[in-house]
Amino acid sequence: MAPVRNSHPDAPSRRALLRAGAGAALAAGMPLRAPAAVRVPRVAMILYRGETDVEKGFRDHFAGRLMPVEYLVRDVALDVTRVREHVAEARAWQADLIYTWGTPVSLAVAGRVGAVNPAVHVTDVPVVFTMVATPVGCGLVPSLTSSGRNLTGTCHVVPVRQQLAAIRAYRPFRRVGIIYNPVEPNSVQTVRELRAAMRAEGMTLLERPVPLDDTRRPQPASLPELVADLAERGATLLYIGPDSFLAAHRAPLTDAALAVGLPCFAATEVMLREGKALFGLVSDYGAVGRLTAHKAAQILQRRTPPADIPIETLARFTYVVNMRVAAQLNLPPPRSVSAYAELLT
């Protein structure tokens, strides 16, 4: 069907109106100007451990809506001391929005509630965070309703009580071990929440923080020893929380657990798809990225203040079982779980 045009017989055409307008401008001595170019929004992405499917989902959201966006992607490679240089580069590039991945990077960029220093933290450029396990617990925002500042974002972790229900659905694990990075705020908060929830359920949590070196960095070489210690102490399940350090070292961690016959429950997708965790209740990384992009689009397109955009997590989660690991451990999922879980083969 041809485009609908003004059909009145005496109506001037758009071209005629433009010619008339140009003629009037010339007669008045006014210079003719080309239409102003629309500036493509610029998003600086500061990552913690390289690109993930979250970033793919983020880009897919804009690509699917035919909204052009320019990206500046920088990775701190587990070293948050590099955040400042990447923020300086984002400012020099005149970024319209800064995207941050993970709790350590997000805190380094935006600062904690009540401890924001404009000379160090970003306050004048909108910040949208993702993959932050406990935004309130780590001090990034005062509530999920509003950050109260130039900041919003998404959470990817299933509430602890729902995770415990997922664990019970598989087997009645009573003694659960956890290894965590003691200098990662969301990891420490997860231990607190898990400890309280398990106590209420009559479960035992065996805790082992990862030892730190002289520079207060966690030592990955200690992971097999920590796993073996938990197994010796009677743990029947290893809980792997939303810990960026453990995610980066997922192979040696889950290999060590498998070697001693200790099944792993994962709170994040990467441990199941790229590690050897047995099962977990997780958020789809691509969906998290698209939800994060939806919030960024509200800022870039609608000019909505970040403080007016609530912090959210996904409405639906996925129960995933790694069937190869289940066969190695001789721990097949119950039929009731198999009926609704995603089974990795």
Q: What is the pLDDT of residues 312-343, one digit of tens each?
A: 999 999 999 999 999 999 999 999 999 999 99
Domain locations in the chain? 42-156+284-308, 160-282+317-344
Average pLDDT estimate for 43-66:
97
The backbone torsions φ and ψ at residue 40, rounded to the nearest 5 degrees and listed phi first, read: -75, 130
pLDDT at residue 186 in the model: 86
- Mean of the pLDDT values across residues 80-90? 97
Tell me the pLDDT band of 3, cut-offs 50, 70 and 90. Answer: very low
pLDDT at position 36 is: 54
The span from the CA of 130 to the CA of 175, in Å, is: 31
Average pLDDT across the chain, whole number: 91
Q: Which residue has the higher pLDDT, 341 or 26?
A: 341
- 284-301 confidence digits (pLDDT tens): 999 999 999 999 999 999
Q: Which residues of 125-138 are buried (b: 16+ CB within 10 A; e: fewer)?
A: bbbbbbbbbbbebb
Tell me which DSSP letter residue 243 carries: -
Q: Do 42-156+284-308 and 160-282+317-344 share a fold? A: yes
Rg (alpha carbons) of the chain, rounded to whole number: 25
Instruction: Give the 3-state secondary structure of residue 31.
Output: coil
Cα separation, 291 vs 331, whole angstroms? 34
pLDDT above 70 covers a percentage of the chain that reads: 89
Is 0.85 topped by the overall pTM? no
pLDDT at 12: 44
Average of per-residue pLDDT across 3-29: 42
Question: What pLDDT was estimated at residue 25?
Answer: 43
| Per-residue pLDDT tens over the stretch 182-222 | 999 889 999 999 999 999 999 999 999 999 999 999 999 99
Q: Can you tell me the mean pLDDT for 63-82?
A: 96
Q: Is domain 42-156+284-308 annotated with CATH 1.10.10.10?
A: no
pLDDT of residue 14: 42
CATH topology of domain 160-282+317-344: Rossmann fold (3.40.50)
Average pLDDT over residues 57-81: 96
pLDDT digits 0-9 by tens, 111-145: 999 999 999 999 999 999 999 999 999 999 999 99
Whole-number Å distance between alpha carbons of 230 and 227 = 5
CB 281, CB 317: distance < 8 Å = yes
pLDDT at 16 over 70: no
> What does the longest C-alpha to C-alpha distance in the chain come to?
92
Q: 3-class SS at 207?
A: strand
Token code pair at residue 153: 């974002």
For residue 38, the model assigns a pLDDT of 80
For tokens 């030892």, what's the residue?
211
Strand 237-240 relative to strand 264-266, pairing = parallel
Q: In the chain, which residue ranges form alpha helices assigned H by DSSP?
A: 14-27, 53-64, 83-92, 103-110, 160-170, 185-200, 223-232, 244-248, 250-259, 270-273, 285-300, 323-329, 335-338
